Amino acid sequence: MSKKEQILSLYFEKKMEAIEISKEVNVVKSYVTKILKKDERYATEKLRRKEDTKIRKKNFNRENMRKVRKRDSDLNNILKIQHIQDSCELSSRRTINNQAFRNWNSSIYQFYNRTKEYRIIDELKDKTSYAVPQKIKWK
């Protein structure tokens, strides 16, 4: 089997790409594309592959957005439940100190040992109210 026949076989039958074919046949990529462009089936195959890639990319993006939305939705639901619980607990008083607030909302804070303070975790910084303390000094 000649190199030309091998190149055409790998491209049209085994659906390999030009770079893979060049490594397999041990020729440069430009030679592979030159051989492929001379074949009458090349234009239709290239269009078909382009459409397949477009569909795969669209499905990938759709699936990725689903995952992101689900993750955000789960996080928002947790915050809503925690907010309702805190509202019930805090309704008996007018004000609450920062340490008590941190105890009721411990999952949104992370302790920094060097500065001896609690800070809101990065994921929630832009999702919390301005009234929520960003840093809480701990004694």
Backbone angles phi, psi at 133, to 5 degrees: -65, 130
Q: Which residues contact 32 (CB under 8 A, 6 or more apart)?
A: 7, 11, 18, 21, 22, 25
Using one digit for the tens of pLDDT, what is the confidence trace for 12-49? 899 999 999 999 899 999 999 999 999 899 989 999 99
Selection from 110, 89, 116, 114 nearest residue 101 by Cα: 89
Where along the chain do its domains lie? 97-139
pLDDT tens-digit series, residues 57-77: 999 999 999 888 888 888 888
